A and B are shown apart, each in its own frame.
Chain A
Amino acid sequence: MSLNLLLVQLLNGAQLGILLFLVAAGLTLVFGVMDFINLAHGVQYMLGAYVAATLGTLLGSFWLGLLLALPVSLLIGLLLEWVVFRHLYRRDHLAQVLATFGVILTVEDAVRAIWGSSPLAVPQPEGFAGGIEIMPGLTYPSFRLAIIAAGLLVALGLWLLVDRTRAGMLVRAGATNAPMVSALGVDIHKLFTLVFGIGAMLAGFAGALAGPVFAVAPGMGDGVLILAFVVIVIGGIGSIRGAFVAAILVGLIDTLGRAMLPDLLRLVMDASSARQTGAALASMLVYIVMAAILFLSPAGLFPVRRG
């Protein structure tokens, strides 16, 4: 494998990791602060992609669509919170899992009814059509670089928000001990709504960014959801820093594994079985890493201390 190819795969991995982080950030906060398992978080990602694509086509500009997808995602998230989720905060995890699964089924079928089952055409982001030569002889799509940059900016903003503001301090306090924060006179429901809204918007943003790169189709949120859960469990539930590190780790492992394992296995077995075993092993790699990390450190890499 040449250096160029390796670099491309590294960038692809970083890009997948960034998207995963945007989805996982909301998931880990909602889980950490509200102790609420929201399987329907992947739905926000899917809706973000659909709304951005539709509005982008309608207005003739991908960027306008992306911009408008943010408030729409926020509204959808708050609506779901108001109609369904807020009745589940005091219930056990199993009830939350079943009800939010019901939300997935409902919304995915609603999407099928509105947009159809086949993948949606997405307007290409204007101004980012070509590639950038990052090394002599190596061009990389500029939009994918933009995804990485946008994701890093959002991660920085989120870190500032959580680590440097009063609201962020309350969120961190909530992740450590929500009843205590409530007892100290903080309106915990307002905090929940804030966290939930931000999480929904970030997932919608990730979906909108992913639209031009991946297929926009009804089931697109499911695979991302599972990987996002892998990310928050590896990173430590409730930890933004953990989610970031774990998301990049998962993105790189998954991408590099898929690119390199079949070639590596060819050294020890024949070509066709190397391809098959390599593909299977590459798909498993993320889960093997997660199982190993949980085995060695059951609370994840950056456990949030709870009191």
Chain B
Amino acid sequence: MTGRARLLLPVLVLAGLAAAPFLGFDTGFAYTLMARAMILGMAALSLSLLVGGAGLVSLGQAAMLGIGAYAVAALDHAGVTNALVVFPAAALLAGLFALVTGAVSLRTSGVHFIMITLAFGQMAFFTASSLSALGGDDGYTLYGRTEWMGTRLLEDRAAFHFILLALLAGTWLLLSALIDSRFGRVLRASRENALRAQAVGFSPFPYRLVAYTVAGAISGLAGALLANATEFVSPATLAWGRSGELLFMVILGGVGQLYGAILGALAIVLLEEWLSHLLNYWRLAFGPLLILSVLFLRNGLAGITAPPRRRRAPPKAAAPKAATLEARADA
């Protein structure tokens, strides 16, 4: 990473979240809102690894989120509430789902990749709504939050807040390290030009599949946390609208910077909450704000303080677009 200025914004945001409980934002309402933003931020970070890092626009990320959440519900139903079992199981299941569906989806690229991930997401959604043991369409209410060493640690609002914050920061650091590693460089090279990456001896497929699986596992963990935050799981967690929402968080935050996902998640969750209290038809304001952000914030929220390092958001005819055209011509 060059220049510390670019890290200023995410560090400020994380510090703000850490300080919030001491600045009067320690009501149940504030905690709930921040928990939602941080959890969706984690899922959006994992999606940002795919969209920004690998150039893979997935519209099925909510499936991983939902699988993580349903893992909590299923284990709760079976009487298992130990965090050391529940969270790894959630991440593992979601990762496994990502591994299998990714192996199929990654045969396609561009818009077709968007649609095939949507297809798998919808399959997961309809499967969830047919799970009659877990409430089917109506969802499943958890008896209590997941236990840590026999204590209900996660039910303490402040403790839960700081656990989420630590996990969010940890996810960010982990994924940043991943993107800057040799693995990440291959991933980025294949995004810029898959043919050239192949020409120097790298097959993009295994790298992309690993990235897709890692992103799935992280989203699964986020889903398990979401189930704990709301103490309720329903098929709505897996709806395609949620996948879209995560994608919008990544785009609004800025695709070129990983932490853009955190900014996007916070911005969307807080703005939705604020506007919906302020206005009856709040989307009449929210929609135009999104449009304006696209027209005027070319590099997303992250672009406000960090000008693109290289050609981050390529012009229309540049790399990612060319890649999809190549793929079409190949087919």
Contact = CB atoms under 8 A, between A and B. Distances in A.
A126 B209 CA distance: 57
Tell me the dominant secondary structure on chain A's binding face: helix
B304 interface: no
Contact of A94 (B51, B104, B126, B282): B51
A113 B290 contact: no
Given A90-B315, A229-B115, A295 B247 contact: no
Interface residues of B, number: 54
A303 B328 contact: yes
A264 interface: no
Chain A interface: which size bin? 35 or more
Contacts of B284: 106, 109-110, 113
Contacts of A94: 51, 57, 251, 255
Contacts of B314: 92
B51 A291 contact: no
Given A92-B313, A287-B119, A98 B281 contact: no
B283 A92 contact: no
B331 A233 contact: no
A126 to B, nearest CB: 34
A71 to B, nearest CB: 25
Interface string A83-104: 0100111111111011101111
A237 interface: yes
A291 B119 CA distance: 6
Interface stretch (B26-34, B106-114, B171-179, B184-192): B106-114
A294 B118 CA distance: 12
B281 A280 contact: no
A219 to B, nearest CB: 10
Interface in B188-225: none
Contacts of B51: 94
Contacts of A105: 283, 286-287, 290
Nearest to B51: A94
B295 interface: yes
A106 B251 CA distance: 18
Contact of A98 (B115, B132, B283, B290): B290
A298 B321 contact: no
Interface string A268-284: 00000100110111011
Given A99-B294, A113-B284, A280 B127 contact: yes
Interface of A: 31, 35, 37, 84, 87-95, 97-99, 101-110, 112-113, 222, 226, 229-230, 233, 237, 273, 276-277, 279-281, 283-284, 287-288, 290-291, 294-295, 297-300, 303, 306-307
11 contacts: A90-B316, A92-B316, A93-B57, A98-B290, A102-B286, A226-B240, A280-B126, A283-B126, A294-B119, A299-B328, A303-B328
List 4 tightest A-B contacts by C-beta distance, closest first. Answer: A106-B287, A102-B290, A280-B130, A299-B331
